[in-house]
Amino acid sequence: MTTLNGHNIFYVPQMVNRIQVRFPQSRRRRIRKKWRRRECNWRTTPNMELLIDDATHSIYGHPLAIKQLIRHCDLQNKNWR
């Protein structure tokens, strides 16, 4: 477990945004429902937002978002030295 300024950091790879990128030509509800089930019609991107829980002193986020946070904190600490 990683800590940052007394906060425990938890990696949550399920924090992603799903965006439907392909749509059927037909506007019928039945066809749209079928297209919605197919995974190839969707694109997932990591959610770069962090959830900070002050009650438990925890930070939850996608691994890429946490990596960016740690990199940013390291740069800030180098500037203060």
pTM of the model: 0.74
| pLDDT, tens digit (0-9, with 9 covering 90-100), for 23-47 | 999 889 999 999 999 999 999 999 9
> What's the sign of the alpha-carbon dihedral 20, 24, 29, 31?
negative
Assess whether pLDDT exceeds 70 at residue 1: no
Domain ranges of the chain: 2-80
Cα dihedral 60, 65, 67, 71 sign: negative
